[in-house]
Amino acid sequence: MKISELAQILLEDFEKNKRHIFTFVNEFYWANSKKQKYALIKDKPEIKEIRILALLASLAEWLAQKEDVPVPEWVEKIGSAIPAVYLTSNDTFKMIAFRDAPIVFRKRHIFIDPRSFEK
């Protein structure tokens, strides 16, 4: 699944479909080469929902940095999510996400526990 396909899935029903983010992350890690990994994130999703774009830009940037893949140009053009996005509804986990979110997520007001996306 490419990041643009993930965007369409999230756009349909974010709360119901956010579990697909984890599927995407796994597929990215399982890709056989840096070229294949880059192909999954290179194209900007063609959606206007800034909260989803901010989340996906952060995700693409973070994964690229972790796997030594070029960061796609489109991610730098994506601003912050307002209101902020948390991938949990649990208040305790929200506090952990707020404290521990990597900078590439924080700068766009996306708060996640980075351990959620570890290999």
Torsion of CA 8, 23, 105, 57, to 10 degrees: -40
* Domain count within the chain: 1
Q: Which domain holds residue 84?
A: 3-117
3-class secondary structure, 49: coil
Q: Tally helices (H) and strands (E) across the chain.
A: 7, 2
For the segment 56-73, the average pLDDT, to the nearest whole number, is 97
| Residue 119: pLDDT over 70 | no
Q: Give the model confidence (pLDDT) of 29-41 as tens digits.
A: 999 999 999 999 9
Specify the residue for token string 């029903």: 13
The predicted model scores a pTM of 0.93
Question: Do 87 and 81 meet the contact criterion of CB atoms below 8 Å apart?
Answer: no
Residue 118 pLDDT more than 80?
no
Phi and psi at residue 82, to the nearest 5°: -135, 120
Radius of gyration over every alpha carbon of the chain, rounded to an integer in angstroms: 13
pLDDT in tens, 1-49: 999 999 999 999 999 999 999 999 999 999 999 999 999 999 999 999 9
- Assess whether pLDDT exceeds 90 at residue 113: no
* Structure-token pair, residue 97: 């996400």
